[in-house]
Each structure stands twice: as structure tokens, then as C-alpha cells.
Amino acid sequence: MAPVGGNSIHRSSSRPQLDLSGAAIQGNFEEKDPTILLPNQSDDISHLALDIGGSLIKLVYFSRHEDRPVNDRRKKTIKERLGISNNNRRSYPILGGRLHFVKFETHKINQCLDFISSKQLHCGVSNENAVIKATGGGAYKYADLFKERLGVSIEKEDEMSCLVSGANFLLKAIRHEAFTHMEGHKAFVQIDQNDLFPYLLVNIGSGVSMIKVDGDGQFQRVSGTNVGGGTYWGLGRLLTKCKSFDELLELSQRGDNRTIDMLVGDIYGGMDYSKIGLSASTIASSFGKAISENKDIEDYRPEDISLSLLRMISYNIGQISYLNALRFGLKRIFFGGFFIRGHAYTMDTISFAVQFWSNGEAQAMFLRHEGFLGALGAFMSYEKHGLDDLMVHQLVERFPMGAPYIGGNVHGPPLGDLNEKISWMEKFILKGTEITAPVPMAPPGTTGLGGFEVPSSKGDILRPDASKLNVGVLHLVPTLEVFPLLADPKMYEPNTIDLSDPGELEYWYTVLSDHLPDLVDKAVASEGGTDDAKRRGDAFARAFSAHLARLMEEPAAYGKLGLANLLELREECLREFHFFDAYRSIKQRENEASLAVLPDLLREIDNMNEETRLLTLVEGVLAANIFDWGSRACVDLYHKGTIIEIYRMSRKKMQRPWRVDDFDAFKERMLGSQDKEPCKHKRALLFVDNSGADVVLGMLPLARELLRRGTEVVLVANSLPALNDITAMELPDIVAEAAKHCDILRRAAEAGGLLVDAMISNQDSPKDNSSSVALMVVENGYGSPCIDLRQVSSELAAAAKDADLVILEGMGRALHTNFNARFSCDALKLAMVKNQRLAEKLINGNIYDCVCRFEPAG
């Protein structure tokens, strides 16, 4: 029996709000997603739901996070201080874990049963008469098979109802779920939760259902058509001898439907019928040419047949959908179902039809989880899972590890332990190298749909499976919150660099790829350089490269892609292969070296007047931000001297004005002027960045100055390691070390509960700290160099409530993300730009230029 349910807050781990007392892992403890028994959990929590359709089985299952129990004393103290309890505000439990999306072909149902059985998904509850919720016709057809093979009963859920609740959940809870797709260009649509209804949901499975949705559980199937995905696949199979739906779809890529469709021009001698707005290239009659030509099926190219069929069915669905939207006055039409399969050309065709018939009034929208609406809805139908109570900020979508190699499909048994994962990567070496080469991206407007024209070069630019990898693993993290000091959370966009610009994406792809060999060396060394570590390092490099290559192909595969996502992906991949702190020894070395010179620095600072001191402190933060192991240029620099030599050199170069220099405004705010009173902030949140000089000689002295002025200070650090960033777990020891040489820090740290035992040798001051302002440490919820303030730890959100000053430090937190963020309190953004291109783009400057941006409360 092994206890589960650590209390770490980061996104790879969350705190389930279930009754976990007495919980135990059943079976192999080493397994990635082992079954967990919850003997004291009174609610029925099931882990699996299915949608068994005519062609595909869609499966949604839940797995608990791998919790690594950590003994973090800081966490307990901070919870008490900030008044955070484990009791949930909600009335019923919310699962903390991951939702996985998997699909199988229905005729290979045994593969699906093997999958469920090997993952033990059907026995996730301590319930003797285990029941699985399922929807779709197969829930009836295969009920006996499930009973026979798995010993479980199937509880059938209404298909329409499941589709609707699945769609409603996705549209409300996933930020980048809905998108438009016109002429090869994908654009995400921001859906206002409060302005979602009514809409038309068109689910294109084997057949097509059109559902008017008025609210949660309020819907009506208003129409449908029997000409759907089954028609395309069935007719296509007969006419082309294709062996699979995907093969048929791929064939269409190379097709020319003019050889088989009758166009307006064919009837009007090559002319447009302009009087009624039809161009010569408009399809007048799908397959119409076949009647006038004395040809047999063999005389037509299968490619042309497939395209003609695809256009016929897609236009027809688009047209009927629009007419139904018109009938009920609905402005939004969402298309789902596995017919679409993220296929760019299908979406373009449907979009074109909707636009054409509505004269541009209506717009087709698609859903990234298009095929999983029913299965998700069936999952939602389990009572008391709390899923429908989750909000956007509590869901984090992650890149599924194996997806780049297999296009999101599941082949073979699930991966068990780390070793299996590595062998799996090794097995796919060939596949991996095949796709690692960047694939040209589709420039917008090249599918040639601008007038029912035949796409000229779509075979080269639109891969048939281009959008297959469009569903990640959904992490449910009920503890995440929106940072309360954002001025306008709805308008907030964390990323400064937009990677939908192909030039930007390519640049950052190259930067991250070039950095990889060095990172692998560091990671392997951090694990003792053993053969096992080398093997894992190799697998990590492959996995990360494959992800990058896949994202180059389709940047919006998992929703809008920003630089923060790429940097986070790198850290996630490292953790996936059990590299938990690649820069461990570097961080230790730099912390020690910096702590050794801290007393001298503090003495120097204390001899200055208030004004010079403030400038020196801000200058110190900027100078020390040079210690960044994520920057190629900086790493090259470290070969040229010791830490202290580089720190001194960096300080010497700090010439004002900095490239962005609001220091005078900040100084006036802090110290006042003839016209203005000085502002004594109540509580400052300092988002710290790197270990070593950055935090010890930069941020800590600044924190100390704020404490001296009577401002409470909360140091906000990463929950998990990322590059050489300091973590919340590591900070208390550093503060304790620094406090040995400084009364201000010591008293504040004691008042903040950071120094709870006799870590400090300097015991001569009075024990009563009631008058001291506190120094605290909270974790931010991230294991990445960047931070998305829409999803932060509950500790940070609680600490923010009384704060009136935010200081963001470093390139990741203040430039790549949050450079344009607006706060409802005073905000100071401090960073050294350690990348030439970013310096040019962002501040029209050069590498090593500095940013000191002060934005007073609005």
C-alpha cells in the first residue's frame, strides 16, 4: 500500500478534492497511470466513457496525476499565513488529474478492449458492479462483448444529449477550442461564456445531426442528413478501392474534380452565368460530367473521384447547415464529428459553402476536439465528478508525448514505465528522423477556394494529416486561479511573441534546436552521466525535436502557440524522461559564490543615501539578470570569467539611460518629490528568476530595501525547476543563509515563517518579531521560464490579494510573457535582454540592453 496524493501545486500534479484517506495504488506502483483505490470516497468516480460509433470508437478516460510526495515545510506555513485551506469552496468534488482522448476503429474493437483492460480503466472504482457510460449505437451493439471481455455493464447515454454537453463543456472550458478555417488559414475564436447560446451544432459522423442548442441540457435536433461521413467513405470505397477513410482523404489531395464535375462553364460554353452570380468554375452538378461522357469508372482517376465526392458532401452539409441556422436565426454554427478529422480542405470547403450561401453573414466554426463531443458528454454524465464546474483557468492542455510519431493515434499497448517509454522512442527513430525535417507551412490563401476553383498546389502544402494531432492531454488542476491583480483578465495575452508569424516560429525553432545538444549534456550530467541517463537524454532529445518539428508543421495544433508554450514544452519533455533538475549543480555553485559576496554588497549599499541606494539596487537586479543559462550568448560569456568577475563586469556596463528607462518615475513613486508624497506599499510581490547572483545579489537586496521601508515582501518563485531558475522550495534555505548576515532579512523571514528552526547562528536579537514586516515565499504554479497569469497557484493568488506592487524580473517573466500585461496596482518590469533579435524587435536595441518599465496603478 503506497499513499497517494502529494500536495504539490504545479501543473503536472494537482490536489484532488476527493476523499483520499486510505487511498492506495493497486498493482504496479511504477506504472505511469496506476489504478487507485479510494476506499473512503463515497461518490462514484468513474474513469472512462465511450462513444461507439459506426466507424470509430472514441474513448475519454481520466487518470490521476503522478504525485511525488514532497516534504515542503514552507508550504504548510504559507498556507496558514495566507489563510488557504484545503476545503473546497465548491459543494462537490472535482477531480484533479488528466483527461485523455483516444480513438480506435470500430471494426478493431478488440484493440480497444485490450487497451481498457491493460490500463485497468474499467476497474477504477471500488464498485463491484462496475458500469461504464457509453453513447453511440455501439453502446447497444457491443454491450454483451464488454460484459464478456471486461465484466462491466454499459450504461447507455443519449447520443444527442452527450454531443451537446460535450460541446458546451469544450466551448466554455477550453480557451482555444473553436476556430475558423478559411482558405488554409486557421484562426481561433474567443467565445464569451456568457454569450454562447443559442448556436447550431452540426455533428458529422457517419450521418449528420443538426442540433439547435439553447443552453446546458436545452437542445433540439432540428435537422440532419443521411449524406455524411459514411457516405463519403462508403461511396469512396466502392469507387476508388481505397482501404481506409484516411487513404481516401489523402487521395483527394491530389485530385482535380473538374474532370468529373459538371461546371457552369461546361454548360455555358466556358462563360460565367453572371446574371445570377455564378462563375464558370462553379460546380453545377457534382459528378455531372459522367453522364455525357462515354467513360467507365476505370477511366476516371481515383484522386478526382475522391475530391469530387468530398466537395459534394462537404458543400451539401455546409448548405443544409446554413439553411437551418437561417431557419432559427442562429448566427453561430459549430461543426464537429470525425468526418472532419482536422482536414484542412474539408473545413475550407464547408466554410466556403456557409460563406457562399450566407453572403458572408454566417461563419463556420470548428472544434479541436471535434470527434470527442459524444464521449466527453458521456463522461460528463457521471454524477458528481465536478467536471462541468471547472473553469477555463483550471484546465491546462499538454502535448501528448507520443503524438508526433503517430499522429495522435494509439497503436499497441499503452506505455507503462519509463523504460518502455524510452524503448518506444528508440523504436520510432526512423519515423522520428523522417519528420524532424521542417515541413513547409501552408501560406494563407493558397487552397484556391476563392470561387469553387480547383486547388492548384494543395498536394504540396496541405498534408492530409496536417491537423491530426490536435488534441492534447487535458490536465484538470482545480487549484489554479486567475492572478487577481490583472487589470483586465479578458484582454490579457501572456505571450509577447506571436508564433503564428512563420518567421518568428522558424527563428525560435532554430534557437531551441541549437540549444538541445548542450541541454542534453547538462541533463545527463545532472543524473550522474550513467548509461541510463544517456539513454534517457537521447530519448528526451528525440521527443522534444519531434514535438518541435510537428509544431513547425502545424503551429496551432494545440491552440494558439506562443514562445512560452515552447519553452514550457522543453521542460515538460525533460520531466517526462525523469530529468527533474538539469541545472542542479550549476545553481548550487552560483548560489554559494553569490552568498559569499553578499555581506560585502549589503555593506556597500548601506553606506549610500536612499536615492543612490534605490538606483544601485535596481541596477543590481538588471546586472545580475545576466546569469541566464537559457541564453546562448550568456552561456558563451560564462567561459570568459568567474561568476563574480562577470557580475562586476555587468554592473560596470550599467549605463543609464537604459533602453527602456522609467526609473525616475519609479523613484518618484517610491521616494516622492516636491509635488508627490512617497508611496509606502503595503505588500510587494517579487517574481524572481534565476538562481545565484540574480536572486542573491539582485532581488534579495531589493526585497530587503522594501522590507526596510515597511513593505511586506512575497518572493514568487517557480514550483518546479526550469533551466537555472530558482524554485520556491530552494528559496527558504537561501534566505536563511542570507539572513545570517542581515538583521532585516532575518527578522522578516522569521515573521514570515520562513525561519522556523534554529538555522540561524545569529541569535542575539530579541525574539519578539511582532513589529517586523514579513518576508514570504510562494510558488507560482509553473515549471517554466515564463508565466501565464491566467493560471497561477492558489498560494500566489491569495498572496496577491493584499499586494499593491508587482515586480516582474527576467526575460521569461517580464519580456517573453507579460511585457504588455496591465495590472491594477503599481508594476515594475525589470530584465536584461539576452538575445539580439528580441532586443531589436521589442525595444529597438541590442543584446544586453536593459528594460526598466514602471507602470503606476491605473
Ligand X SMILES: CC(C)(COP(=O)(O)O)[C@@H](O)C(=O)NCCC(=O)O
Cα–Cα distance, 349 to 449 (Å, whole number) = 7
Report the nearest approach of ligand X to the CB of residue 394 (Å).
26
Report the nearest approach of ligand X to the CB of residue 630 (Å).
3
Cα–Cα distance, 324 to 141 (Å, whole number) = 31
Q: Which does 834 bind (CB under 5 to 8 A by kind): Mn ion, ligand X, none?
A: ligand X
Return the range that interacts with Mn ion (CB under 5 A); candidates 187-195, 319-327, 331-339, 783-791.
783-791
- What's the DSSP call for residue 655? P
Instruction: Give 734 or 754: the residue with its C-beta nearer to ligand X.
Output: 734
- Looking at the DSSP bridge assignments, the partners of residue 137 are none
Instruction: Give 411 or 639: the residue with its C-beta nearer to ligand X.
Output: 639
- What's the DSSP call for residue 593? H
Report the nearest approach of Mn ion to the CB of residue 11 (Å).
18
* Nearest residue to 61 via CA among 137, 123, 110: 123
Cα–Cα distance, 380 to 385 (Å, whole number) = 8
842: Cα within 13 Å, side-chain hemisphere: 31
Return the range that interacts with Mn ion (CB under 5 A); candidates 203-211, 250-258, 570-578, 687-695.
687-695
Return the range that interacts with Mn ion (CB under 5 A); candidates 354-362, 419-427, 610-618, 682-690.
682-690
Cα–Cα distance, 807 to 312 (Å, whole number) = 58
- Residue 317, judged by CB atoms within 10 A of its CB (0-12, 13-18, 19+), counts as buried
Report the nearest approach of ligand X to the CB of residue 503 (Å).
16
End-to-end CA distance of the chain: 55
Q: Quick one: CA dihedral 517, 519, 524, 525, positive or negative?
A: positive
Q: Which does 632 bind (CB under 5 to 8 A by kind): Mn ion, ligand X, none?
A: ligand X
562 phi-psi bin (left φ>0, alpha ψ -120 to 50, beta other): beta
Return the range that interacts with Mn ion (CB under 5 A); candidates 259-267, 292-300, 302-310, 785-793.
785-793
Helix (H, G, I), strand (E, B) or coil at 343: coil
Report the nearest approach of ligand X to the CB of residue 561 (Å).
16
Instruction: Give 626 or 735: the residue with its C-beta nearer to ligand X.
Output: 626
Q: For residues 722 and 581, is the Cβ–Cβ distance under 8 A?
A: no
Cα–Cα distance, 756 to 55 (Å, whole number) = 62
Report the nearest approach of Mn ion to the CB of residue 628 (Å).
5
Helix (H, G, I), strand (E, B) or coil at 778: strand
Q: Helix H segments across 639-709?
A: 643-652, 663-671, 693, 700-708
Report the nearest approach of ligand X to the CB of residue 725 (Å).
6
Q: Does 730 bind Mn ion (CB under 5 A)?
A: no
Instruction: Give 267 or 847: the residue with its C-beta nearer to ligand X.
Output: 847
Chain residue whose CB lies nearest ligand X: 630
Report the nearest approach of Mn ion to the CB of residue 630 (Å).
6
Cα–Cα distance, 356 to 715 (Å, whole number) = 56
Cα–Cα distance, 618 to 701 (Å, whole number) = 9
Q: Which does 811 bind (CB under 5 to 8 A by kind): ligand X, Mn ion, none?
A: ligand X
Report the nearest approach of ligand X to the CB of residue 816 (Å).
5
Query: Where do contacts with ligand X occur on this chain (CB under 6 A)?
Result: 511, 567, 625, 628, 630-633, 689-690, 723, 785, 810-813, 816, 834-835
Instruction: Give 186 or 834: the residue with its C-beta nearer to ligand X.
Output: 834
Q: Does 266 bind Mn ion (CB under 5 A)?
A: no
Instruction: Give 208 or 842: the residue with its C-beta nearer to ligand X.
Output: 842
Instruction: Give 408 or 812: the residue with its C-beta nearer to ligand X.
Output: 812
Return the range that interacts with Mn ion (CB under 5 A); candidates 127-135, 428-436, 748-756, 781-789.
781-789
Instruction: Give 322 or 507: the residue with its C-beta nearer to ligand X.
Output: 507
Instruction: Give 127 or 510: the residue with its C-beta nearer to ligand X.
Output: 510
Instruction: Give 168 or 818: the residue with its C-beta nearer to Mn ion.
Output: 818
Q: Which does 8 bind (CB under 5 to 8 A by kind): Mn ion, ligand X, none?
A: none
Report the nearest approach of ligand X to the CB of residue 847 (Å).
8
Q: For residues 171 and 366, is the Cβ–Cβ distance under 8 A?
A: no
Q: For residues 499 and 562, is the Cβ–Cβ distance under 8 A?
A: yes
Instruction: Give 97 or 785: the residue with its C-beta nearer to Mn ion.
Output: 785
Residue of 568, 689, 804, 849 interacting with Mn ion (CB under 5 A): 689
Q: Which does 835 bind (CB under 5 to 8 A by kind): ligand X, Mn ion, none?
A: ligand X
Q: Does 725 bind Mn ion (CB under 5 A)?
A: yes
Q: Which does 608 bind (CB under 5 to 8 A by kind): Mn ion, ligand X, none?
A: none
φ/ψ of residue 248, rounded to 5: -65, -45
φ/ψ of residue 723, rounded to 5: 45, -135
Report the nearest approach of ligand X to the CB of residue 781 (Å).
16
Cell of 338: 470525425
Q: Which does 511 bind (CB under 5 to 8 A by kind): Mn ion, ligand X, none?
A: ligand X
Name the strands in the sheet holding 826-832, side by side, starting at the edge strand that comes first in the sequence.
660-661, 850-855, 826-832, 805-809, 683-687, 712-717, 775-779
Q: Does 8 bind Mn ion (CB under 5 A)?
A: no
Report the nearest approach of Mn ion to the CB of residue 358 (Å).
49
Question: 3-class secondary structure for 87-102?
Answer: CCCCCCCCCCEEEEEE
Q: For residues 141 and 109, is the Cβ–Cβ distance under 8 A?
A: no
Q: How do 283-285 and 332-336 pair as beta strands?
A: unpaired
Length of the chain: 858
Return the range that interacts with Mn ion (CB under 5 A); candidates 128-136, 174-182, 296-304, 721-729.
721-729
Q: Does 590 bind Mn ion (CB under 5 A)?
A: no
Q: Does 795 bind Mn ion (CB under 5 A)?
A: no
Report the nearest approach of ligand X to the CB of residue 743 (Å).
30
Instruction: Give 79 or 632: the residue with its C-beta nearer to ligand X.
Output: 632
Instruction: Give 628 or 804: the residue with its C-beta nearer to ligand X.
Output: 628
Please report where in the chains the cell 530587503 appears, as a residue: 704
- Omega before residue 555 within 30° of 0, cis: no
Name the strands in the sheet holding 48-52, side by side, starting at the edge strand that comes first in the sequence.
153-156, 131-135, 48-52, 56-64, 97-105, 473-476, 395-398
Report the nearest approach of ligand X to the CB of residue 836 (Å).
8
Residue of 358, 526, 690, 719 interacting with Mn ion (CB under 5 A): 690
Non-local (6+) Cβ contacts of 696 within 8 A are: 591, 594, 595, 598, 734, 738
Q: Which does 406 bind (CB under 5 to 8 A by kind): ligand X, Mn ion, none?
A: none
Instruction: Give 395 or 586: the residue with its C-beta nearer to Mn ion.
Output: 586
Which stretches of the chain bind Mn ion, using CB under 5 A? 689-690, 725, 785
